[in-house]
Amino acid sequence: MKIAVLPGDGIGPEIMAEARKVLAALDLPGVILWEGDVGGIGYRRHGQPLPPETLEMARAADAVLFGAVGDPACDGLERHLRPEQAILGLRTALGLFANLRPATMFPGLEDLSGLRPEIAREIDLLIVRELNGDVYFGEKAIRTLDDGRRQGFDFMSYAEDEVRRIAHVGFRAAQGRKGRLCSVDKANVLETSQLWRDVVIEVSAEYPDVELTHMYVDNAAMQLVRNPGQFDTVVTGNLFGDILSDQASMCVGSIGLLASASLGESQTEFGTKGLYEPIHGSAPDIAGTGKANPMAMILSAAMMLRHSFGREADATRIETAVAQALADGVKGADLGGGAGTVEIGDEVLARL
Ligand code: NAI
Ligand code: MG
């Protein structure tokens, strides 16, 4: 188990230390941890946000555990030197095309959701978002028409192999959950979505144990707020997934609790090569104060054990310990509590 640990900037190193503590306590067999510089610290030490030695380390590893990048001191730099380029560079270089964002309501936190507590209580879903295609990657331009008006356009496309591979990720994820997959598209008006739907249905033949449904994206946005408990696993394209995954995560409450995985083709002995990170950024406003909630980082490590190393039992152990700590009232400042970074790490550790 070779893991590239990339703490990054701001609160990144602080929360990563707690995740490492938890991993160390699990006594994993043959685990090798490498640590590399990325983001603003990469720029300061090596002149680049994604130094070649860090990229090499990430390529050689079975999984990447990523803290956060972003440093206000780098704001004036040219775009390609900014810390945030590191995460984009890693996604591209490692071919990470599937973004997994679980959103689960932790008992005791229902009041912190933007939704009514009785509705929030039901949230336990996973969004599988395609990350490498769609309208974000098509030809784009602002051109001037013959009559002088300016027109912006972005070309939206999906090739069937791009849909097929993300569909497989969605079905496999659903198999590991409650066995229900909802494919979200806009097939009533978009040809890309019609192809998406056709391919997802075709792939479903290989997963007779998964119940497949389809939903238009506008309805999905409404249903996520009206009755999120109806969703188990959702698979969708890059644009729709960008919006729906942000929406779903905020239904849960704090940004300090939400983990994510970005997966590529199967490249390891156990499962899929992936990059695991909290959904939040480097939080420069609280960096160095010891107030950052490390739970999202710890839960990202759990996702890594599940998806890259097939260690479901260890992943569940970590997730249960976090849920237990929250239920016992261990809350960081982001949840209106007083527990600091190290204390939260210790409390999770004590419940492993
Ligand atoms: P942010 O997520 O870093 O912070 C937003 C707010 O949430 C802040 O008030 C922060 O204190 C709080 N917060 C975030 N994580 C927390 C945690 N674990 N515990 C307690 N409170 C937490 O987003 P912001 O402020 O927009 O961006 C800061 C920097 O992070 C920027 O440079 C941005 O580009 C970068 N960023 C990096 C990401 C990544 O590495 N994947 C993702 C998002 C932003
Ligand atoms: Mg987004």
Instruction: Give the pair of three-digit tokens for residue 77.
Output: 């730099």
Per DSSP, 48 falls in state S
Does residue 111 have an active-site annotation? no
DSSP run (H or E) holding 44: helix 40-46
* pLDDT band with cut points at 50, 70 and 90 for residue 265: confident
What is the reported pLDDT for 107? Answer: 87
Q: Which CATH entry fits the domain spanning 123-253: 3.40.50.620, 1.20.1270.10, 3.40.50.300, 3.40.718.10?
A: 3.40.718.10
CA distance 47 to 343: 35
Identical fold, 1-109+254-352 and 123-253: yes
For residue 274, give Cα distances in angstroms to 62, 255, 261, 268.
7, 21, 7, 10
Distances (CA, A) of 50 to 18, 43, 56, 323: 24, 8, 10, 34
Distance CA 13, CA 68 (A): 8
Q: Does the annotation flag 44 for ligand binding?
A: no
Residue 196, Cβ neighbours under 10 Å: how many?
A: 29
Known active-site residue 158: no
Q: Is 287 annotated as a binding residue?
A: yes
Candidates 154, 161, 218, 328; catalytic one: 218
Under the phi-then-psi rule, with left for phi > 0, alpha for psi from -120 to 50, and beta for the rest, what region is 157? Answer: beta
Tens-place pLDDT, residues 27-71 = 899 999 999 999 999 999 999 999 999 999 999 999 999 999 999
Is residue 51 part of an annotated ligand binding site?
A: no
* H/E run at residue 213: strand 211-216
Q: What is the DSSP letter of 150?
A: E
Query: What average pLDDT does the structure give for the chain?
Result: 94
Question: What amino acid occupies position 276?
Answer: Y
Q: Is 246 a catalytic residue?
A: yes
Which ligand 1 atom lies nearest to the CA of residue 11?
18
pTM of the model: 0.91
Q: Ligand 2 centroid to 264 CA: how many Å?
A: 19
Cβ < 6 Å from ligand 1: which residues?
A: 11, 68-70, 84, 87, 255-256, 277, 280-286, 292-293, 296, 332, 334
Residue among 2, 21, 124, 136 flagged as catalytic: 136
Fold held by 1-109+254-352: Isopropylmalate Dehydrogenase (3.40.718)
Cα separations (Å) of 104 from 24, 233, 301?
25, 12, 16
> 48: closest CA among 33, 36, 59?
36
> Is residue 29 part of an annotated ligand binding site?
no
CA of 117 to the centre of ligand 1 (A): 26
Residue 246 Cα, ligand 2 centroid: separation in angstroms? 6
**Atom 13 of ligand 1 has which residue's CA nearest to it?**
283
For residue 270, pLDDT over 70 is answered with no
- Parallel/antiparallel/unpaired status of strands 180-185 and 63-68: unpaired
- Among residues 62, 242, 314, 334, the one annotated as catalytic is 242
pLDDT in tens, 83-135: 999 998 998 899 899 999 999 999 888 888 888 888 989 999 999 999 989 99
Q: In sequence order, what are the beta bridge partners of 125? A: 103
**Mean pLDDT within 157-174:** 95
Residues contacting 201, CB < 8 A, separation 6+: 212
Residue where the block lists tokens 């704001």:
75
Given ligand 1 and candidates 91, 282, 335, which is best to mutate, with the most ligand atoms within 8 Å of its CB?
282
Ion ligand 2: residue ranges with CB closer than 5 A: 242, 246
Residues 6+ away with beta carbon under 8 Å from 218: 186
Ligand nearest to the backbone CA of 239: 2
Tokens of 171: 């079905």
Domain layout of the chain by residue ranges = 1-109+254-352, 123-253
Choose the weakest-confidence range: 4-8, 95-99, 107-111, 149-153: 107-111
146 catalytic per annotation: no
Specify the residue with its C-alpha closest to ligand 1, atom 33. 70
Supply 91's token pair.
Answer: 């996604």
Structure tokens at 191: 């040809």
d(CA 243, CA 322): 27
Pairing of strands 63-68, 2-8: parallel
ipTM of the complex: 0.97
Residue 27 bears catalytic tag: no
**DSSP code, position 332:** B
- What angle is formed at CA 177 by the lines to CA 172 and CA 178, rounded to 5 degrees? 115
